A = this chain, B = another copy of it.
């Protein structure tokens, strides 16, 4: 993807490395970077007391190409048995958006993408309804709708998801108020690269129509949580959360409108961090290198 860059260009690389914590890692990594004539411009690390894992995210300016940088790091990655990623800073992430009828999250993502605030390429928005066709079309993004009415059509929809993931070499699937539960198979297949958004309340509410429950209970704060999709519904590792204050005078419908704003900005924030390789997983927790 950087084949068009001249070999002599000063590239800006983002590197993430994860391994068992032990002394000497930073020295080994920074030595490899020095050997590739790189300069570390940003570095964040974290040692998890819970899992004993070490996490580091680096941004490195280096005149080398990817192969050279990779070769320099390879012995370190091998020695420490690291999980690693190397990418170019700012490269747009290939992202598939799933939606249903609500447009607030989709619009927020597409507008930020176009405004240059969100480094994603969105080759397709796939919905189980046709409602958002015009909105998506305005941003010149391809849109498909496939109705889900029964188990067979749901399977067909998910097959199309898998096909689109392969076809477009998708790196992230965003559930932008896609109101169907993913099958366990699809959850497993997309593990660590699918982000969902849902409303959040203090205290939490189970079951249907949570905004109505929140209204009935008189909550003073409503919010949203963006998290990785797992087969354990709404319980995946949390990426970002926001809340906003409400009072007794708000109707359940107003709570919905307020909650949608929080959902939009929370989801876009989570996608932005993910696209910038700032989200790492530590068991059921996330490390966010903001």
Interface residues of A (CB under 8 A from B): 21-27, 30-31, 33-34, 37-47, 49-50, 103-104, 107, 111, 115, 117, 134, 138, 200-204, 215-221, 223, 225, 234-235, 237-243, 247-249, 251, 257, 260-261, 265, 282, 284-288, 290
Q: Are A288 and B248 closer than 8 Å at their CB atoms?
A: yes
**In the bound complex, how far is the Cα of B30 from the Cα of A144, in angstroms?**
52
A237 to B220, CA, bound (A): 11
24 contacts between A and B (CB under 8 A): A26-B43, A27-B31, A30-B30, A42-B45, A42-B46, A43-B43, A43-B44, A43-B45, A103-B115, A111-B111, A115-B257, A115-B260, A202-B223, A202-B243, A217-B284, A218-B282, A218-B286, A219-B238, A220-B241, A220-B288, A221-B242, A247-B288, A248-B282, A248-B285
Given A42-B45, A202-B223, the answer on whether A218 and B237 have CB atoms closer than 8 Å is: yes
SS class, residues of chain A in contact with chain B: mixed
Give how many copies assemble into the complex: 4
CA distance A171 to B64 in the complex (A): 46
Contact between B117 and A257, CB atoms less than 8 A apart:
yes
A195 smallest CB distance to B (angstroms):
14
With both chains docked as a complex, state the minimum distance between the C-beta of A220 and any C-beta of chain B, in angstroms.
4
Q: How far is the CA of A219 from the CA of B219 in the complex (A)?
A: 19
Kindly list chain B residues whose C-beta atoms are within 8 Å of the C-beta of A204: 202-204
Find out whether the CB atom of A225 lies under 8 angstroms from the CB atom of B238. Answer: no
Cβ–Cβ < 8 Å partners of A34 in chain B: 23-24, 27
Measured between beta carbons, the chain B residues less than 8 angstroms from A107 are: 111
In the complex the two chains form, is B22's CB within 8 Å of A26's CB? no
Select A30's contact among B26, B243, B257, beta carbons within 8 Å.
Answer: B26
Complex partner residue of A217 from B39, B215, B220, B285, CB under 8 angstroms: B285
